[in-house]
Chain A
Amino acid sequence: MATRGFLGRRNSDDTTKDRLPPGQFLEQGFPVLSAGPTPRVKTEEWSFKLKAGPRLLMQWNWAEFNALPQTRMTRDIHCVTTWSKFDTAWEGVLIDDVLAEAGIEAPTGFTLAHSADGYTTNVPTVDLVGGRAMVALRYEGKAIPPDHGGPARLLVPHLYFWKSAKWITGLQFTEKDELGFWELRGYHRCGDPWREQRYTDD
């Protein structure tokens, strides 16, 4: 049912229509959203852990992780709070390359990403592999600023951006789909912007 007197999209622009998922608007800036203070994660103390359940499969320090094959990815990103940003340019290590380096194929269909501040988010493993996701180390050619998740953040651009965990410190494969921080607090377990999967039962 239409809302009385609401005429809708301002500055509606047909050139962006096919690129904007339902309910999103185009943002020129780069808003910051997070649940607490911005952690200042020192690269000297950072490490990236790959786990299967409780078992550590492999671990890299900052220098080791930066020595892995680097890939560039320019993508549109979509925040559940309804802004989208086009053509954001990232550089980092594809999850495929992380797995190749560990000499494994994804052991389970579910993954939990872990962050330095205790944040977690669950991402179906299929959404992380096949060149679709990376651990980003640079944004627009520079180190990622702390408020945008630096030194390293997950980048899963085809899902709502809360899945792209800031200050990432590891990926853990899980037997079951274990809900993460926002997923436990009312947000959708998958988060596909094109299907508008914002909240739990959407």
Chain B
Amino acid sequence: MRWQQARIAGIVPRSKTVSSFFFDLPEPFDFLAGQHVVVRLTAPDGYRAQRSYSIASAPGARSRIELAIERLDDGEVSPFFHDVAEVGDEIEIGGPIGGHFVWTVADGGPVLLIAGGAGVVPLLSMLRHRAGEGATTPMALLFSARTKADVLFREELSGLAARDDGFELQLTLTREASPPPGAFSRRIDPDMILEVTRRLPGPPRRAYICGSNAFCERAADGALAAGIDAGDIRTERYGA
């Protein structure tokens, strides 16, 4: 894998716990929507920690990529980004990597996307790719977040849905007292997945599910129960 020293070019808060980090790549690379990079930190004593982060940018953004990193209070790498990292810092990045959890316009659809929290990141890359290419592939995103304020990229996603070009957005908020109209307010379940799937013009050719492991397990089982073939369901599990 190719490693390079990338420079933090910008930091943009996306919610209370998630910020986007923009990296300038001295050696630009091509990638596919859904792929990730590996970030490697080195301590003065030589100890190294590395973690994977999905690329939020659309393919085509070759020399500046966006990663959206959630702060886990007791984590090792994500708090470093939130508490220490600054614009101008050099960070080692390897990749791109991963070729399973990817979508290109040529793959077609309909496509069902299911995200839990920060798991929306690689799906956003797919949606940005679709919009950037002017594709009208039918896609539906079922996005589960705790509260409205935790819906990452909410304005951008609503904007994409408002284009009325075959992309449907469905939110479900698990800890919001008064969810906005149209949003579900419960954890993902098979009925919800079935309902969102039915808004697609035909059975999904593929489903992409991303989030914590427990979330993926639940959503993948729900997708199976909603009649989607196991071979058409791809998951990206962020751990814990």
Contact = CB atoms under 8 A, between A and B. Distances in A.
A62 B200 CA distance: 41
A33 interface: yes
A118 B231 contact: yes
B97 A186 contact: yes
Interface in B173-225: 213, 217, 220-221, 223-224
A185 interface: yes
Contact of B223 (A35, A37, A82, A118): A37
Interface in B37-62: 38, 41-45, 47-52
Interface centre among B48, B220, B221 (most CB of A within 10 A): B48
A20 B226 CA distance: 42
B146 interface: no
A23 B50 contact: yes
A38 B89 CA distance: 40
A36 to B, nearest CB: 5
B5 interface: yes
Contact of A5 (B47, B84, B234): B84
B48 A35 contact: no
A34 to B, nearest CB: 7
B221 A9 contact: no
Interface stretch (A66-74, A99-107, A168-176, A194-202): A194-202
Given A31-B239, A37-B230, A186 B98 contact: yes
Contacts of A54: none
Contacts of A127: none
A33 B171 CA distance: 25
Nearest to A33: B237
Given A36-B220, A185-B98, A3 B92 contact: yes
A22 interface: yes
Nearest to A7: B43
B76 A25 contact: yes
Contacts of A147: 217
Interface in A28-61: 29, 31-39
B49 to A, nearest CB: 7
Given A33-B237, A83-B239, 18 more contacts: A1-B90, A2-B42, A3-B89, A3-B90, A3-B92, A5-B89, A9-B47, A23-B48, A25-B76, A34-B237, A36-B235, A37-B224, A38-B217, A38-B220, A81-B52, A185-B98, A186-B98, A201-B1
Q: Considering the complex of A and B, which 6 residue pairs feature the smallest CB-CB distances, nearest first?
A: A8-B43, A199-B1, A37-B220, A8-B47, A5-B84, A185-B99
Interface of B: 1, 5, 38, 41-45, 47-52, 76, 80, 84-85, 89-92, 94, 97-101, 213, 217, 220-221, 223-224, 230-231, 233-235, 237, 239-240
17 contacts: A1-B90, A3-B80, A6-B43, A6-B84, A8-B41, A9-B47, A23-B50, A25-B49, A25-B76, A34-B237, A35-B234, A36-B234, A37-B220, A82-B50, A118-B231, A185-B97, A199-B97
